[in-house]
Amino acid sequence: MTPLQKKRLSYIPKKPTILADLNAITFAEKGATEAIGDKGEIQKRFPQTYGRPLIKMTHGKGGASKPLKVGVVLSGGQAAGGHNVITGLFDALKKIHPESHLFGFLGGPSGIVDGKYRDLSEDELANYRNQGGFDLIGSGRTKIESEEQFAKSLEVAKALELNGLVVIGGDDSNTNAALLAEYFIDKGCKTRVIGVPKTIDGDLQNEHVAISFGFDTACKTYSEMIGNIARDALSAKKYTHFIKLMGRSASHIALECALQTQPNYVLIGEEVEAKNQTLQAIAQDLIDVIERRGKEGKNYGVILIPEGLIEFIPEMKTLIQELNMLLAQEGGSIEGLSAPSKKTFDYLPKEIQDQLLLDRDPHGNVQVSHIQTEMLLSHVVKAELKKRNFQGKFNAIHHFFGYEGRSCFPSNFDATYCYSLGIVSALLIREGFTGYMSCVTNLREPVEAWGVIGIPITSLMNMEVRKGKEKPVIQKALVDLKGQAFKRFARDRDKWKLQDHYQFPGPIQFEGDPSYTDQIPKILS
C-alpha cells in the first residue's frame, strides 16, 4: 500500500448527529407518495409497494437488536465512495447485533442471480475503508429482468435467509431494486430491498436527493485536470483543447467543472436542446469565439463537451432514437432509417457512424461514452474555419476525461456521505422498509446537521421506452436551465470566452483547511 492508501484507511468519516445512537432512532411517516408520471401504470406494475409514505428519521425507540443477514451489490459504473457505503452498512449491522452478517454479491447483479457472494469480514473491509474503486466485490451491468432471473434471485435470498438486500446503483439499478422489492413481497419472501443513489453522472437527483455519490470526487478530479490543461494552453499558446467529460445524457458534470475551472467555452446539452441547435449552429457559435480569439493572437483555448451532447442535438437525437429502436429488433439494421436521419447519418465521419452502431448497454441505451463527440466537433469546426478563410492557427487536441474520475480516493465529502448512506440502509432494513432509497439530506449544512429520509422508489418513476418497450424507470434529472447553478454559469460565461479566467483547483485535498478539504459541489452551493 502507498503511504496515502494507509493514511486514508485511518480516516474516520464524521456522522450526522441523528446517527449517533442507532438504538434511539426510528422513522416517522410523512404522507403517502405517488409516481411522478404515469401514476396508474406504475401503480399497476407495483401493486404492493406503490404509494408508500416518505419517511423521516427521528429520535425514538428503534427495532429489536437481533442479528440481521444482509446482502449488498454494486451495480453499474464505478463511483468513488462505494466501499464506504459497504463499510458504513457493515459497521451499522455489527452495531445492531455483533452476529449480523453482510454478504457481498460478486460482479454486480449477476452475483445475486447466480448466488456468487462472500461473507464479508472486518479484516477484509479493513483494507478498503476510504479507498476508491469497487474492487472489494466488483460491479456489473446485468439487468435482472427475466422471470428466470427473478426466480433465481429469490432462491438465493431465501437460501441465505436475507433480511435485506442493498443495491448500490444509478437510476436503472434503483429501478431494479424496486422491481425486486415488489417481487419478493409477492412471493412471500422476507428480504427487504433498499437502493442507494450512486453515479458520477449526478442525474439521480430530485427534491430530496441533492446529489448522487461519486459526483463530487469525479468533478474535482476532472477539474484538476482541466485546470492543468488550461495552464498548459496558457503557457504554450498553440492548442485548442476539446475535452469531453463523462456523464451520460445529463450535463451536470460539465456544468460543475465549468464553475470550478472557467474554461473558454462550455456546451450544455440541455441548453442545446432547448435552443434546438443543430450541429452546424453549435459549430458556428464556437467558430465565432475561435475566430475572435485568433484576432487577439489567442490561438489556444479550452472547450468542455458533455458526453451526452450528441443526444441533445435535434437531428442526432432523432437518429439515435431511430437506431435504438431498429437495433433492438431481431436482426435490426439501419435500413429502416427515415430519410432525414439517413441524411444526418451520411453526413457523419465514418468513425462516428461506427460508434453509433456499437452495442447498446444492457438497458438499451446507446453507449455515449464510446462516441467521440470531441472529434466530431473539432472536425466540423476545422471544416467551417477553412470555409471562412480563417487566418489564425487552429490545432485541436482531444481529451476524454471519464474513467479517471470514477475510482479515485473518495473526497472527504463522498467518503462521509457514503458512510452515512451505508448506515441508513442498515437502519431501513432493521425497521422493515422495502422498495425504499436511502437518502441523506441537508448536504449544504455541516455534517452534524445532515438529516435522513427514506424515499419510496416508485415515487421517482414514470414510464419510458427502453429497448423498444414501455418500462417503468426512474426519471433522469437533467440540468435545470432555470436553476441557480446554470444561471450563475450563464451570467459569467461570456467573460471567459475572450479573456482567460481559468481557475486551477489542483488535486483533491484530504487534510488541512476545510475551505479546500471539505468543499461541496458548486452546483449545490
d(CA 234, CA 298): 9
Question: Which residue in 262, 369, 373, 425 binds ligand FBP (CB under 6 A)?
Answer: 369
Q: Does residue 177 touch ligand FBP according to CB under 6 A?
A: no
Report the residue number, 197 or 422, with the smaller CB distance to ligand FBP: 197
Question: Which residue in 174, 175, 199, 378 binds ligand FBP (CB under 6 A)?
Answer: 199
Cell 419510458 maps to which residue? 464
On whether 517 is known to bind a ligand per the annotation, the reply is: no
Question: Which residue in 62, 71, 76, 435 binds ligand FBP (CB under 6 A)?
Answer: 76
- Report in angstroms how near the CB of residue 202 gets to ligand FBP at its nearest: 9
Determine contact, residues 302/241, Cβ cutoff 8 Å: yes
Q: Does residue 209 touch ligand FBP according to CB under 6 A?
A: no
- The C-alpha angle with vertex 144 and arms to 141 and 148, in degrees rounded to 5, equals 140
What percent of the chain is helix, strand and coil (3-state, nearest 5)? 45, 15, 40
Measured in degrees and rounded to the nearest 5, phi and psi for residue 32 equal -65, 155
Part in contact with ligand FBP (CB under 6 A); list of ranges 90-98, 125-133, 193-201, 418-426: 193-201
DSSP 72: E
At residue 436, the 3 state secondary structure works out as: strand
On whether 414 is known to bind a ligand per the annotation, the reply is: no
Q: Does residue 201 touch ligand FBP according to CB under 6 A?
A: yes
Q: Does residue 368 touch ligand FBP according to CB under 6 A?
A: yes
- Return the residues of window 374-433 that contact ligand FBP according to CB under 6 A: 406
On whether 77 is known to bind a ligand per the annotation, the reply is: yes
Report the residue number, 25 or 310, with the smaller CB distance to ligand FBP: 310
Part in contact with ligand FBP (CB under 6 A); list of ranges 2-10, 75-83, 342-350, 507-515: 75-83
Can you read off the three cell numbers belonging to residue 63? 427495532
Q: DSSP for 376-428, please give it.
A: HHHHHHHHHHHHTT--S---EEEEEESGGGTSSPPPHHHHHHHHHHHHHHHHH
- Return the residues of window 233-252 that contact ligand FBP according to CB under 6 A: 246-248
- The C-alpha angle with vertex 57 and arms to 416 and 165, in degrees rounded to 5, equals 70
Q: How many residues bind ligand FBP (CB under 6 A)?
A: 15
On whether 331 is known to bind a ligand per the annotation, the reply is: no
On whether 171 is known to bind a ligand per the annotation, the reply is: yes
Determine contact, residues 243/399, Cβ cutoff 8 Å: yes
Q: Does residue 257 touch ligand FBP according to CB under 6 A?
A: no
Q: Does residue 200 touch ligand FBP according to CB under 6 A?
A: yes
Can you read off the three cell numbers belonging to residue 458? 416508485
On whether 307 is known to bind a ligand per the annotation, the reply is: yes
- Report in angstroms how near the CB of residue 203 gets to ligand FBP at its nearest: 8
Determine contact, residues 319/345, Cβ cutoff 8 Å: yes
Q: How far is CA 17 from CA 213, 449, 450, in A?
A: 20, 7, 8
- Report in angstroms how near the CB of residue 77 gets to ligand FBP at its nearest: 3
Q: Does residue 170 touch ligand FBP according to CB under 6 A?
A: yes
At residue 247, the 3 state secondary structure works out as: coil
d(CA 402, CA 385): 29
On whether 248 is known to bind a ligand per the annotation, the reply is: yes
Q: Identify which of 210, 199, 223 has the alpha carbon closest to the alpha carbon of residue 134.
A: 199
Report the residue number, 286 or 477, with the smaller CB distance to ligand FBP: 477
Question: Which residue in 16, 77, 108, 195 binds ligand FBP (CB under 6 A)?
Answer: 77
Q: List active site positions.
A: 201
Report the residue number, 129 or 198, with the smaller CB distance to ligand FBP: 198
At residue 139, the 3 state secondary structure works out as: strand
Part in contact with ligand FBP (CB under 6 A); list of ranges 194-202, 285-293, 499-507, 515-523: 194-202
Report the residue number, 246 or 453, with the smaller CB distance to ligand FBP: 246
**Cα 250 from chain centre:** 9
At residue 451, the 3 state secondary structure works out as: strand
Neighbouring residues of 377: CB distance < 8 A, sequence distance ≥ 6:
242, 282, 283, 286, 303, 305
Report the residue number, 142 or 262, with the smaller CB distance to ligand FBP: 142
Q: What is the largest CA-CA distance in the chain?
A: 77
Measured in degrees and rounded to the nearest 5, phi and psi for residue 379 equal -60, -50
- Report in angstroms how near the CB of residue 359 gets to ligand FBP at its nearest: 11
Annotated binding site: 77, 171, 199-201, 238-239, 246-248, 307, 403-406
Annotated binding site for diphosphate: 77
**Which residue ranges make up the site for ligand FBP (CB under 6 A)?**
76-77, 79, 141, 170, 199-201, 246-248, 307, 368-369, 406
Annotated binding site for substrate: 199-201, 238-239, 246-248, 307, 403-406
